[in-house]
Amino acid sequence: MFLSLRAEVEDALEGALSELDFPTDDLGIEEPPDDVDSVLASSVAFRLASEAGAPPPQVAGQLANEIDADELTYVAEVQTQGPYLNFLPSGAYLAETLETATDDAYGALPDRDTSVVVEHTSANPTGPVHVGRARNPIIGDAVANLLDYAGYDVDRHYYVNDAGRQMAVFTWAYETFDEDDLEDGPERDRVEYDLVRYYRKGNAFLENGPDEEVAEAEAEIESIMQGLEEGDDETYERVSEVVDQVLSGMRECLERLPAVFDEFVKETRFMRNGDTEELVGRLKDLDEAVYEEDAWQLDLDEHGIDKNLVFLRSDGTSLYATRDLAHHEWKFDNYDRAVTVLGEDHKLQARQLRTALELLGNDTKPLEQVLYSYVNLPEGKMSTRRGTGVDLDDLLDEAIDRARQEVEDRLDDRIRDDDLDDEDVERIAHQVGIGAVRYDVVSKQPTKAITFEWDRALDFEAQSAPYVQYVHARCCGILEEAGFEPDAIAAGEINVASDLDADLLGTEAEQGLLETIGRFPAVVDEAADDLEPHQIATFTREFADRFNAFYRECPVLADGVDPELREARLALVAASKYTVANALSILGVAAPRSM
RNA sequence: GGGCACGUAGCUCAGUCCGGAAAGAGCGUCGGACUUCUAAUCCGACGGUCGUGGGUUCAAAUCCCAUCGUGCCCGCCA
């Protein structure tokens, strides 16, 4: 609805400008500050002042006179305030917003008939997922949800690095060492915690072991790499045994968030189907291809990248980057757009990838990257190989424990008489605990550096998930109290009369809430365009503020409330419920029925 | 050394792409509000040379240049 309003305002303003012979290239449309009544405004008058030979406020007046609000559907009135033009929403705008928003798909944009693959996480299958990487699945999942909501046809991919040197090392270590060789037991009863011990042991051995034995190990590792390159089935099986086990454990961890994938794409796929070999041939034919120190590389100096892209080692094996080129051509063949969520430390590689893809004749516009900066510990970087870092499992466990404690502490002074049972407590603990972790990550611009601190990551106060979740629970509480079935609320099947009178919602709190609800689809649209899910988080906070003001000032079910007003307010609560539930679902944060 | 990102209140962050309404939240501090749909809430107070210096503009946190600080990258690793 907001989108229609904006279109209408743009049209009207453009018409007025051309009528007065002013240029129409910049309409100066903006959203006014909170203390202004309008929903949209324009600052064009500033720019026209010199051309018009009149001060801005006078120009604004001329424009306002030129626009006949009676001919507009969603605009009730055009006012000037100094140099600004303010467009006030009409009753029809608010009524249509209310009607549109009382729908469980509110905020979802029309199908764009465009497919997009969102690749995220893609952590090497070397061990437990740690917090240093946790931004990736959380942001990635939200980006995918966001695009889905914005009308794209989304596939979520995890690209599995199962052909790199690390996996060869892991496979060798797994086959070479026994349980007896390992110092400690697994930190957790799950397969990747078990196997990572071999990986760490292997790496330590390669670093500090006796030279002769290390040389033998290196020879074995080299033969595994060669086997993979040649597409040897037995080697593939050996490596797969490690990869598949570790990956299954990591997957379980990610599902706790939950971050789920449509497909785990293994890079060996592009070696075994011949794509990599074919691609290497094409790379060698490029003008930029050079053969230096027995290795094939791309000299990208001319393209502003001073680091060569090595695509074939001197031993003839391909590199991650080589296979990733084949991987991306495959994406281009199968999707209209390709979005990758990756750490800022991969930025240079991303530039090399894009440039090489261009040189190979691909149009790389469909390829977009969302970059985030790593989460570090106060004492430094997290590393799977060295075993430094906080496991995501531990963070989630702690978050749930603290949330459970919170719920139990509050149990005694609950006003609401809804008898939370043990199951509810556990449900709330999970929803709030995990929600808080996700919200904390997804609500910030990904490019900002984060240093991990337990208390900060698990702060339930602040501008956190529980604050927004609580609004949802309040909506549900009111709806339940009004007689709607909890199950229907959970399923989003709240049926309120659609012919009710939005004019009844006349207070500032009600109008402000309705206007905020009306902006939601536009926020989804813009956030999706920018690939910035944190815009949705910012919106949920503004929305929660508005809702709380309404909650404070506008009783819905109290005895003195007129039945018609009660219905209208109930519809507003239902619309609020859908808005906040859907916004939270984009963020991947649970919307609790009660808390 | 070079490239990229970040720098807004004591702390954590919106706002920056696309310049416009005397800089907005939360936490913390201080003071208030539960016989009323859930107080994980709300109201009020205190708190800011938007890193610094220049420039462009009627107008700069926002654009340009320089500079300082922090992070990341500059492997035949991923």
Three-state helix/strand/coil letters over A194-234 = HHHHHHHHHHHHHHHCCHHHHHHHHHHHHHHHHHHHHCCHH
A410/A406 Cα distance (integer angstroms): 6
A67/A53 Cα distance (integer angstroms): 21
> Is A472 within 8 Å of A580 (Cβ atoms)?
yes
- Could you give the angle at which helices A2-19 and A56-66 cross, rounded to 10 degrees? 110
- Within 7 A of a protein CB, which nucleotides of strand B? 2-7, 12-15, 17-18, 20-21, 24-28, 34, 36-43, 58-59, 70-78
Q: Give residue-wise pLDDT tens across range A146-192.
A: 999 999 999 999 999 999 999 999 999 999 999 999 988 999 999 99
CATH code: domain of residue A28? 3.30.1360.70
Residue A159 CB neighbour total at 10 angstroms: 23
Which residue gives the smallest C-alpha to C1' distance to B34? A415
A450 token code pair: 């984060």
Q: In 3-state terms, chain A is what percent helix, strand and coil (to 5)?
A: 55, 10, 30
In angstroms, the CA of A348 and the C1' of B3 are apart by 9
Measuring CA to CA, which residue among A48, A32, A4 is closest to residue A88?
A: A32
Task: Compute the mean pLDDT over every residue in chain A, rounded to the nearest whole number.
Answer: 93
A557/A126 Cα distance (integer angstroms): 56
Measuring CA to CA, which residue among A568, A470, A580 is closest to residue A510?
A: A568
A351 token code pair: 């530039």
**Residues A413 and A514 placed together within one structural domain of the fold:** yes
**Residues A361 and A453 placed together within one structural domain of the fold:** no
Is A515 within the bounds of a domain? yes
Nucleotide nearest to A538 (CA to C1'): B14
pTM metric for this prediction: 0.95
**Residues A144 and A283 placed together within one structural domain of the fold:** yes
Q: Give residue-wise pLDDT tens across range A365-388.
A: 999 999 999 888 877 788 888 888
pLDDT given at position A376 = 84
CATH code: domain of residue A422? 1.10.730.10
- Could you give the angle at which helices A135-149 and A508-530 cross, rounded to 10 degrees? 110
**Residues A21 and A145 placed together within one structural domain of the fold:** no
Q: How far is CA A283 from the centre of its chain?
A: 34
Q: State which residues between 541 and 560 of chain A bring their CB within 7 Å of strand B.
A: 541, 544-545, 548-549, 551-552, 554-558
Q: Which residues of chain A fall short of a pLDDT of 70?
A: 417, 462, 497-500
Nucleotide nearest to A126 (CA to C1'): B78
In angstroms, the CA of A151 and the C1' of B45 are apart by 46
Among A63, A89, A115, identify where a domain stops. A89
Is A261 within the bounds of a domain? yes
DSSP A365: T
Cis peptide before A56 (omega within 30 of 0): no
Q: Which residue has the tokens 């292997």?
A: A202
Q: State which residues between 450 and 479 of chain A bring their CB within 7 Å of strand B.
A: 450, 456, 459-463, 466-467, 470, 473-474, 476-478
Domain count, chain A: 3
**Residues A69 and A168 placed together within one structural domain of the fold:** no
State ipTM.
Answer: 0.95
pLDDT given at position A499 = 66
Nucleotide nearest to A82 (CA to C1'): B21
In angstroms, the CA of A526 and the C1' of B54 are apart by 35
Which residue gives the smallest C-alpha to C1' distance to B20? A43
Nucleotide nearest to A292 (CA to C1'): B76
A427 token code pair: 């449900």
**Residues A460 and A565 placed together within one structural domain of the fold:** yes
**Residues A285 and A408 placed together within one structural domain of the fold:** no
**Residues A439 and A549 placed together within one structural domain of the fold:** yes
A390 touches strand B (CB under 7 A): no
Is A51 within the bounds of a domain? yes
pLDDT given at position A119 = 98
A347/A353 Cα distance (integer angstroms): 10
Is A496 within the bounds of a domain? yes
A412/A409 Cα distance (integer angstroms): 7
In angstroms, the CA of A397 and the C1' of B38 are apart by 26
Q: Which residue has the tokens 């465009």?
A: A114
Which bin fits A122, alpha (ψ -120 to 50), beta or left (φ > 0)? left
Domain residues for the domain of A516 are 398-587
In angstroms, the CA of A447 and the C1' of B54 are apart by 28
Q: Give residue-wise pLDDT tens across range A118-159.
A: 999 999 999 999 998 899 999 999 999 999 999 999 999 999
The type of residue at A16 is A
Q: State which residues between 66 and 85 of chain A bring their CB within 7 Å of strand B.
A: 81-82, 84
Measuring CA to CA, which residue among A550, A566, A418 is closest to residue A482?
A: A566
Q: How far is CA A318 from the centre of its chain?
A: 32
**Residues A324 and A461 placed together within one structural domain of the fold:** no
Q: Which residue has the tokens 């391909």?
A: A318
Q: Which residue has the tokens 């390709």?
A: A338
Is A119 within the bounds of a domain? no
pLDDT given at position A461 = 72
Ordered DSSP codes for A65-116: HH--GGG-SSEEEEEEETTEEEEEEPHHHHHHHHHHHSSTTTTPPPP---EE
**Residues A158 and A269 placed together within one structural domain of the fold:** yes
A320 touches strand B (CB under 7 A): yes
**Residues A211 and A346 placed together within one structural domain of the fold:** yes
